[in-house]
Amino acid sequence: MEGSTVALMSTSCTVTSAICMAIGWRMIRRGKVDAHRRLMIASVAFAALFFILYMARTIFIGNTDFGGPESFRPYYTAFLVFHIILTIIAPVLAVITLYFAAKKRFDKHKKVGPWTARVWFVTAATGLIVYLLLFQIFPQGETTNTFRAIWGF
């Protein structure tokens, strides 16, 4: 399986995860606790599947370098670094949110959950944009190591 196919699959998992989270958030606002719980578990499962696919692609295939114009590279790199920072924050918030839910600390879960969802949505959106920039909008760059794919050298 080539890198662009795995990237499409992993990005689809990210988008599906965000959709499940959005619907789950709507369900809890409507008082549908069981639907909320199932959708949030599905959201986390799709996020975990994304992570597995992403890491497998990184380890076995490599990462895709930016193939767009060099004049656009600094903007792409800044955007990618922003996305990477979010991908570090989002799972930490998710674990905290899930912990409070599991411990039935719903007062804290209600405070952290909306922030987790917002960061998750932005992470998914920026991840989709990274995918589009790497594989759809510009010519696909070469497959390389992670450091070169992020920083360009």
List the chain domain ranges.
3-142
29 CB contacts (<8 Å, ≥6 apart)?
Answer: none
* Window from 22-26, 62-66, 117-121, 124-128 with minimum mean pLDDT: 62-66
State the virtual CA torsion across 110, 112, 115, 119 in degrees, nearest 10.
Answer: -130
What is the number of helices (H) and of strands (E) in the chain?
5, 2
* Window from 33-37, 92-96, 102-106, 145-149 with minimum mean pLDDT: 145-149
Compute φ and ψ for 83, nearest 5 degrees: -60, -45
Average pLDDT of span 135-149: 85
Q: Is 2 helix (H, G, I), strand (E, B) or coil?
A: coil
CATH 1.20.120.80 fits 3-142, yes or no: yes
* Cβ atoms of residues 8 and 135 within 8 Å: yes
Q: Say what angle helices 73-102 and 106-132 make with each other, to 10 degrees.
A: 150
pLDDT at site 153: 66
* Cβ atoms of residues 142 and 56 within 8 Å: no
pLDDT at site 100: 98
pLDDT at site 1: 57
pTM: 0.89
pLDDT at site 21: 97
pLDDT at site 59: 85
pLDDT at site 130: 97
